[in-house]
Structure 1
């Protein structure tokens, strides 16, 4: 099958949607399919991916679901897409976030073959984009042959504005990459109990609540350490100032780390903590932590509760509640056998989300959509 995977997001900026597309592309290619990934990039010369076709070189950051999405707003995209469609004859085009400006919309305008769309975003309060642009976007809705949501939480968002039949196919996790064979980082394997936070330091990620919980725990558990892995999304400075002001010890801010080191940070931790406050469609970091055999303490938000069952792979606590975070973390820190059993349950859960399984579900859906039409 000849497949085009389209992303609206800057390929030079790491993110969940582009990571999802990368895994689909590499596994489709491994199975003998011809795949082209089409995306904008602010650094087009930095990619060495034979399957990538850059369309749009100038991106801007726009607020999206509590984060910042870098997209291309160039009005010349329409001509580039029409020329590309004239050159290529794809069997199917798969748009990710099809209503994000502007690149996916050009395929909805000009491609007359099978289109599948995946909706990734979640936001508890709804979407301004969908609310304001629903009437403008509605004419393109029938052009989408198949619709995927990555979770029930994502489905609730898109389904509020565009009714239809959807297939839920979740994000996957690379279980081999995060598996038990990964070695811990030597500098963190020194007998301390390591709590791990991993994610872009944005307000919605909830790191201030974890820092407050850590300050409570540190008084009783001096051998505790908090490792904060992730680039700055506006909260790095305030969080570092809190640590300095309160005199908290053993808090490490790594900044953004190379992708190849991420599994080693998971392997170096004893507990993973995700204190997010909302706008999470599924919780890929939870799957990565599970694939690493870690017990988890996470906020009880819809996207996380679809992946983690309270009391099995970890604990769910009310979002924004530092004391509840501290209590759940203390329970795990004081009970190694419980940590081990929850970690094992996480490994079993992660295996159900292995990318090889997810890819087969996507391909089966492609075939179903093409047969029905």
Structure 2
């Protein structure tokens, strides 16, 4: 590559836009930033005729099969002839891989064979998923796959220092850098709160709404959420649950939280309104690497009760912007939530502190760090 040539990045994603989640929205925002900075990007991902949202950049379809047990997700079948030919013609300077599945492994193999540096990003804690589906016995094998995948990269990008510790704990020796995340502050802010919208869902003005935000899948901690609501009910603590999102576990979840208000899938400014209309966010998930919903709630001036795990420990300040609770500890979650319900002044004070703290979460500076990483790995290869 000539120093004056535009940088060419081949970006590999297991889910670029066919299902909406925090990981692929972060990927699209990154690609948009790179394109705005003059980088040439080509995205390789399974696609669908009915995408969840419009993709940024040029997307090359990779043949895929439904993921076993989770048919809404697709599993790329490696790197077949057609996308492989496209990749060779594109001749990237950097290969960026975002998931340790068949497509990601094939892309890393191609890059190493052609002496192209690899940047790998961590978007979720795959090794934790299997516990929720009765498959904990496969975790050692999954961890071995992750260790091999990230050790074949030139650089690994993680969202937070706590995730860097997790990756190093797997035995990964590859240098690790930070790619943080941002928040759309025009959408998520305290002024978006709407009592009228809450009333339309049957939530009274004097009811404290405990919010859940995200895809309704077991690995988001739905079981713990439901157990905590049950504990609050046993303690006689008046509350309402406000559920924002949809997913394959919705019917199961609705049976567990029969008195909850389900707002369904929200997007755009309607999503900002829904988040700001919560009185607190309860996020018991331990699978996050950043916790996008946590950062968005903070920006909206909403205090957060979350699992003391990656995805929250780097975002929340205990007792100031929210509470961090040992994962699975139903009594401690219930106690923290009851404290916020009983003390409106504390909710207000924590929400204001969370809003102020979240002003540091900016997409432009976060995504610029990725471009800096590309240049660093290229310079190291030339050296």
TM-score by length of 2: 0.81
Distance 1:150 1:133, change over 3 A: closer
Matched residue SS, 1:36? strand
- CA displacement, residues 205-234 of structure 1 (integer Å, 9 cap, x when unaligned): 233333343345457454x32111222343
Could you tell me which residue of structure 2 aligns to residue 285 of structure 1?
293
- CA displacement, residues 82-125 of structure 1 (integer Å, 9 cap, x when unaligned): 2112332333222112x311255235325532321112332468
Could you tell me which residue of structure 2 aligns to residue 314 of structure 1?
322
Mind listing any 5+ residue stretches in structure 2 that lack a counterpart? Answer: 1-6, 129-135
Counterpart Cα distance in 1 of 2:354 and 2:36: 28
- CA displacement, residues 265-312 of structure 1 (integer Å, 9 cap, x when unaligned): 101111111122x23223221111111111011122243222222112
Distance 1:6 1:270, change over 3 A: same
Distance 1:205 1:107, change over 3 A: closer
The answer on 1:241 being equivalent to 2:243 is: no
Matched residue SS, 2:282? strand
Could you tell me which residue of structure 2 aligns to residue 209 of structure 1?
224
Contact 1:232–1:255 at 8 Å: present in 2 too? no
The answer on 1:34 being equivalent to 2:48 is: no
The answer on 1:340 being equivalent to 2:345 is: no
Name the Cα RMSD after superposition: 3.0
Distance 1:84 1:51, change over 3 A: same
Paired residues, number: 356
Q: Measure how far apart 1:166 and its partner are.
A: 1.1
Counterpart Cα distance in 1 of 2:325 and 2:52: 41
Could you tell me which residue of structure 1 aligns to residue 144 of structure 2?
131
The answer on 1:151 being equivalent to 2:166 is: no
Matched residue SS, 2:211? strand
Counterpart Cα distance in 2 of 1:103 and 1:165: 19
Could you tell me which residue of structure 2 aligns to residue 227 of structure 1?
242
Matched residue SS, 1:72? strand
Counterpart Cα distance in 2 of 1:13 and 1:300: 28
Counterpart Cα distance in 2 of 1:86 and 1:57: 17
Distance 1:104 1:41, change over 3 A: farther
Matched residue SS, 2:288? coil
- CA displacement, residues 227-282 of structure 1 (integer Å, 9 cap, x when unaligned): 11222343x333322345xxxx4x11234334553222101111111122x23223
Distance 1:293 1:359, change over 3 A: same
Could you tell me which residue of structure 1 aligns to residue 77 of structure 2?
74
Contact 1:127–1:157 at 8 Å: present in 2 too? no
Matched residue SS, 1:53? strand
Could you tell me which residue of structure 1 aligns to residue 107 of structure 2?
106
Equivalent in 89, 114, 118 of residue 115 of structure 1? 118
Contact 1:10–1:71 at 8 Å: present in 2 too? no
Could you tell me which residue of structure 1 aligns to residue 12 of structure 2?
6
Matched residue SS, 2:33? helix
Counterpart Cα distance in 1 of 2:161 and 2:357: 18
Counterpart Cα distance in 1 of 2:291 and 2:56: 29
Mind listing any 5+ residue stretches in structure 1 that lack a counterpart? Answer: none
TM-score by length of 1: 0.83
